[in-house]
Chains A and B, each alone.
Chain A
Amino acid sequence: MDSQCVSTLPRVCGVLLESGSSLPDDTSLEKLLDWFTTIAQTGASLLEACPCLVDFVSKVAFNHASGSSILSFTLKLTGLIGTSEDGFKVLKECSVLKLVFNPHHWQEAGLWGDPCLRIGWIQGLKMILQHSEALSFFAQEDLIEPLLQLQTDSSLFVASAANQTLAQVLLLCQSLSSVGHNCSKNRYLEHNSVSIETTQNYSGIITRVSEYLNKSVVLKEISQLPGCQQILRLLAMLLVQVGPPLRDTLLLAVMNSLEELVTTSCSQLTVPLMDVILAANSGLRDDFVPKQRLIRLLWVMLNMKKPAIVMQAAAAVLHSHHSDPTFSAHSARVLLLPLDIVTGVSLLDENSTEEELRILITEQLKRKSCISMICVCLSNIPQITLMASDHLPCPQRLIVTAVLMLLRLCCVDSSSSSAGCVEVVRFITGNSKVQKCALEALLVLSKSPGVKMVLVDVFKVLTEYLNSPSSDPSVLQKSYQAVIKWVGVCPDLSCITDQLREGFIQAVRKRACDTRWEARDSTVEFLGHLGGAPSCRSFTEQETEPSDVFLGGCSFTVPLLKEALQDPESYVRASSISALAQTLTPSWQEGAALTQEQEDIVTRLQEVLFQDSEGFARRAAVKYFIAWLSACSSPSSCWLLMQSVPTVLSQGVNDLDWEVKLHTLELAELLLDQAFPDPSPSHPYAVMSDQAHRLHIAGQQSDLLSSLKDLVDRGVVSALLCGVVDCDRPVALKACQLLLKLRGVVCPVMGNAADTRVFCQLAEGSVMQQVRKIQAMGKDTYVVSEACSEADKEGICASVDPERVGVCEVLRLLDLDEKLSILTQSSDHIYNSPLSLLQDILTAAAASSQPGRDLHQELVMDCY
């Protein structure tokens, strides 16, 4: 630790002791604690590093005048010190421990009512509970009582922390008792006495916890509901975390209460109750008696008279991946019931046990609450599709049919009527929540086996949604996603008829002109995704692009996207640029000849880069060129691309938006990588003659020279030199990394010979000045001489043009490594250092304790 910190810390402790509750910035205590935690985590002893802390803790403990935030901090700090056994001993010896963790002490001082103090107490306690010493202390001081009381504290934070601490206690009991058990067999007698005592402690604690849980899992009146929910959450957490013997004990203790609780059929308890039952159920031995009782409980939950509870319980079973297929099959049936009833598609065979539930759910579906019930059903379809097909109540294809039917019923313009529940139609028609859930389900169902038969229906319904004037933009987006998904799984799109295609094209064309920008944006995005979708096989065994099948290919898509480049909404402009890149990628990969349209697009993109007021569009424009460059099979032969790159680089690196600059540097990186591809790894033991080696070097030099010249010509080097002095750290960092890469490739091979010198023009004087400033900070001050006209001597500045610099020289002379190390640190590393924190506390305290300070003046100062 920093010696300055060590010397400052006692003063800070003093200030904290004196300041009472008037600490100006209460986050500083959190930061201080974080710092101590970091020290403790490094393995160093906190007390050795900061010996003044014990004194501080004991003083605060005996002095009630401190504010609750300081007290809470102290409690947590005590816990942190006590985490290690040594620290624990020290605290115990100076009798701080007993005092600090004695709730009566705080109650008498009238401070226990403050949740801030209680949370400090719990977190402190949780921290010390790491070793047997602490557990003995916990047991001796009978801290289990107050801890149990806090389980249902009025403050949710306190209650939750208390739950976790209790779990920690039990886990510690469990781990120590297993160790103790092993020890007792192997070790000497003197250890046994301790072990027996400890074991007694453990069993006492476990008994208390079991009694407590058994007593608390009750619901006699509605006011007990929040407490009961909290205890169920605790129980579920414990059952997941603790291991067999303890788990069984806890389970046996609460079994009766659980059974009683289930009979209350309180819907608010369904979820936590199911969590408990399922947590308890997993991993239990079949012969274990409570297992049978648990299974019975599960059946009771799944056969309640309240449909909402049954649905929630069934959903919980499916989500828990319950191992018993009978349960998951039953749950799937329950969850599919509403869909069966609403659509009239018989997903479930006649089953008399479900008849009663069917009647109940049908009644429920006639009310407005049907929306949530249908949504629960739909949102669980992904889980149902994961089930093995022999446990499914019906083929997945039927579920797709039912979902399609539901989507038709929900569509305002559709005149479909179902064979199912008629009353529900009034609630679901035009309801975008149900529509979205159903489309989500349809997305998942695309992977179902045997769905090829319903493919046409799927596309019909989706086209209907895309066409419907009342579709919400979010519904449109989901519909587009579904189209992409289904196209993706379709091996063959031959079933798409001309009529369907025409309808689809009309819908997309219309949406591209929608008044809502969200709809236009989704449309444009969709066009991009469809353009990028993998090709599929038609019945003639020819590979076809999905966008060709659906939209007639680029001749439809590109003009539409070009139009969207003029959109008034910047998001749409940005999306259309990305979509164009996606759409054109295949033709770039094939190296197809450029069309006039593509030339127009490039012109427009340059306009965007120069003139667009929004960053999104400009970012997308740079990314377009990145995509082009990466996809282009031979970039150097694509004149338009090569012509545009220098403009993009010089404009992009000077953009106001840091992301645009960063993307520009990514483009530069791509060019860099293409200019200097990674050398193929030569055989490590290959013998190269001296002459060959020299020739190799010479060859390398000339290759590098030409590549470097290329890079300079394309503006890559000036972009990097511009970026490295950028005020945005990520930009400067990226540029620095790239320059280092360039230096690593170029400098070792290239000498200082005049014929290998490459000069680079820097676009702006200010950038040049900054480069010079960096040079000036370097050690070789002679190279920065403004008047340097002897290029052959130093080679930094060209004789004719003071804004020209020699690349290799600059790379060598700029202290890039130093710069990299500075840039790698976060920009606030100085302000966030522990020393700075300590000094802040001292300064703030000094300012607040200054006698005769003028409050009014301070206020005025604050205003400025």
Chain B
Amino acid sequence: MKLYCLSGHPTLPCNVLKFKSTTIMLDCGLDTTSVLNFLPLPLVHSPRLSKLPGWISKDGSINLEKELKECAGRVFVDSQPEFCLPERELLDLSTIDVILISNYHCMMALPYITEHTGFTGTVYATEPTLQIGRLLMEELVNFMERVPKAQSATCWKNKEIQRMLPGPLKDAVDVWTWKRCYSMQEVNSALSKVQLVGYSQKVELFGAVQVSPLSSGYSLGSSNWIIQSHHEKVSYVSGSSLLTTHPQPMDQSSLKNSDVLILTGLTQMPTANPDGMLGEFCSNLAMTIRAGGNVLVPCYSSGVIYDLLECLYQFIESANLGTTPFYFISPVANSSLEFSQIFAEWLCHNKQTKVYLPEPPFPHAELIQTNKLKHYPSIHGDFSSEFRQPCVVFTGHPSLRFGDVVHFMELWGKSSLNTVIFTEPDFSYLDALAPYQPLAMKCVYCPIDTRLNFHQVSKLLKEVQPLHVVCPEQYTQPPLTQSHRSDLMLELQPPPMPYRRCSVLNLPFRRRYERVYILPELANSLVPSEVKPGVSVATVSAVLQSKDNKHTLQSVPKAPPVAPSKKRKRVMEEPPVTMAPKPLLSGAVPLEAFLATLQKHGITEVKVEETADGHILHLQAEDTLIQLEEDGTHIVCDNNEPLRATLRDLVLRFLQKL
């Protein structure tokens, strides 16, 4: 069993598992942090951005004025943002049989994998994962296509030039593999390969393995996967949460007894407690509004935003924010809010019961009804006429490089009354803010990451007891900034197997058994004999047929009756004389009783010698040795066949025959 690691990102994994002749890709996350190296794409012409000076190396030898712009001491690529894809050279992507998706954040690279690679397999995902994943992809494409850039910067990627560049650009790896965003057509084509599955539904893959999604409690429809054959079980744990938020709670018990557990998607903020962060979010929001400022929340259009809105629903009354407008701006805002209300079966118990009342499971419906929350596809159109300040705006993209958020950053960045509150943990907020410097606006970082923390995961692993754990190497040491926190890492016995991008791991686990079926008629012919109470054995002669990874024992086809041939062509054609199979023997020879029997048969002079494995009986008169051992009996006598036969029969008396 091998694991190919195509992404080193711990929360945006992309691994391929080769197991029992199947090739299974586990998630295909897209690392979007590469976009932080690019200039923001403004929706409205930004004089500030357009006036940024181009970059020329200090000695003037390299002039990339057109491609690179300088802002507050950092250099950005002025081009359509590009993403860092999962590794595509490590193995032939066309050989992948299936892709298992665990949540909508971990499928954003799907079009890069399934399109133009010769991929012919199937993608499995739950319905909310597919639908919300589609929304996120649609949004991403929309953000990019809305602001087309004519030029595409490539010169800076030249190895010689990149080496000379300042700051983070110089250290960016594999920049040649970075790709621009896919098109809507590619998205549709990729998603057409998705087959929907429900929690605990078992899907057979070529008869070799069975895969099954389990609720992981992280987001709507998010799942962990069990990949098992009859005798082996691999668990794949991706973004999971034990907190009580909107999704169905995590199914932990089904992960028990795994041979290998692949662990990814732990919290990126191990020291930030989501509850504390939520409180921080609310108090900073209230503080800004009270002082007459606006609040900008860069966020994804699905996920934590539902919890944020729910929390605000309770908070706005108590904080006297009843009259403050809340805006949610995204090309898919409407769909996201509506979708969340219809996936009742994927929600936590509390929300499910609301549906039967009937009430919308999420309170944002009421916020919309009472006009406290308004949603718009973009800042153009209705929004511009209804926009009132001070207000709270939720909009994407959290990287601050594209989407409507760019406009608000430009609009509000100059006033210290306004606040930008980062809630998504995927991007470093300082890097995200870099092209907006100098910035007067207040910045608050309250990353809300509900995924498992190290404390929870060690408790979980103690409970489910996997034999081996495989995890990204980041989880095997404390974070760089908090090297003294030995509790912020996985401490397991045996130690977990770490992986990084491009690793190929041989999973330490040998297949020892296969399940073999026996046909009924063959089974009928068996004659079991009991060797000890409750255990019977029988001999079987059969033909083993292996097809579609299934093994079956069939009766031996009877030799066709030999047609009386007139001519004997060859002696060899004669069917071999089938001798009746010798019975199988079992049991042990009791020494005392055996000696007594020997005596009865006139053998009296026996010298018994004890050995490590049993006894050696020396029949002195007959000059014969009998070695009685645990797994064999030997009679050594020279040229006295009758004696040997007699002795053999005496031994056989004590053994059971099948």
Task: Give chain A's interface residues, CB within 8 Å of chain B.
Answer: 412-413, 415, 417-418, 422-423, 425-426, 429-430, 468-471, 509-516, 563, 566-569
Contacts and interface: CB of A to CB of B under 8 A. Distances in A.
Contact of B286 (A423, A429, A513, A569): A513
A422 B487 CA distance: 11
A469 B290 contact: no
A515 B485 contact: no
Given A413-B271, A515-B315, A470 B276 contact: yes
B201 interface: no
Contacts of A512: 287
B228 interface: no
B287 A509 contact: yes
Interface in B267-314: 271-273, 276-280, 282-287, 290, 311
A415 B488 CA distance: 13
B286 A469 contact: no
Contacts of A516: 279
Contacts of A430: 273
B282 A513 contact: yes
Nearest to A471: B276
Nearest to B315: A515
Given A415-B482, A425-B484, A513-B282, A566 B320 contact: yes
A469 B446 contact: yes
A567 B321 CA distance: 11
A509 B279 CA distance: 14
A371 to B, nearest CB: 14
B277 A469 contact: yes
13 contacts: A412-B273, A417-B484, A426-B486, A469-B272, A469-B279, A469-B280, A470-B273, A510-B283, A514-B279, A515-B278, A515-B311, A568-B317, A569-B318
B158 interface: no
B342 interface: no
B481 interface: yes
Contacts of B278: 515
A228 B630 CA distance: 60
Nearest to B278: A515
Contacts of A468: 276
Nearest to B484: A417
A422 B485 CA distance: 8
Contacts of A429: 271, 485, 487
Given A470-B276, A515-B318, 5 more contacts: A412-B271, A422-B486, A423-B486, A426-B485, A568-B317
Given A417-B484, A423-B486, A426-B486, A513 B273 contact: no
Contacts, number: 68
B481 A426 contact: no
A515 B321 CA distance: 13
A579 B279 CA distance: 24
Contacts of B636: none
B319 interface: yes
A512 B284 CA distance: 10
B273 A469 contact: yes
A269 B311 CA distance: 51
A511 B286 CA distance: 10
Secondary structure class of chain B's binding surface, majority of residues: helix
Nearest to A559: B290
B485 A514 contact: no
A513 B273 CA distance: 19
Nearest to B282: A515
Contacts of B271: 412-413, 429
Contacts of B290: 513, 563
Contacts of B283: 510-511, 513-515
Interface string B316-332: 01111000000000000
Interface in B434-486: 446, 481-486
Given A422-B484, A429-B485, A510 B276 contact: no
B276 A469 contact: yes
B485 A568 contact: no
Closest 9 CB pairs of A and B: A426-B487, A513-B286, A469-B276, A417-B484, A469-B280, A513-B283, A470-B276, A568-B318, A515-B279
A85 B284 CA distance: 77
A417 B271 CA distance: 15
Interface in B479-529: 481-487
A514 B481 CA distance: 28
Nearest to A426: B487
Contacts of A510: 280, 283-284, 287
Most buried by A among B279, B317, B481: B279
Contacts of A425: 484-487
A467 to B, nearest CB: 9
A809 B438 CA distance: 79
Nearest to B479: A415
Contacts of B483: 417
Nearest to B487: A426
Nearest to A569: B318
Contacts of A514: 279, 282-283
A470 B276 CA distance: 5
A415 B481 contact: yes
A129 B311 CA distance: 68
Contacts of A566: 320
B277 to A, nearest CB: 6
A471 B272 CA distance: 11
Contacts of B272: 412, 469-470
Nearest to B271: A412
A418 B485 CA distance: 11
A417 B484 CA distance: 6
Contacts of B276: 468-471
A422 B276 CA distance: 25
Contacts of A418: 484
B435 to A, nearest CB: 26
A426 B285 CA distance: 32
Nearest to A468: B276
A750 B218 CA distance: 83
Contacts of B446: 469
A18 B285 CA distance: 75
Nearest to B286: A513
A191 to B, nearest CB: 79
Nearest to A427: B487
A515 B290 CA distance: 15
A513 B287 contact: yes
Nearest to B454: A426
Contacts of A415: 481-482
B123 to A, nearest CB: 39
A485 B227 CA distance: 61
B316 to A, nearest CB: 11
A426 to B, nearest CB: 3
A512 B291 CA distance: 13
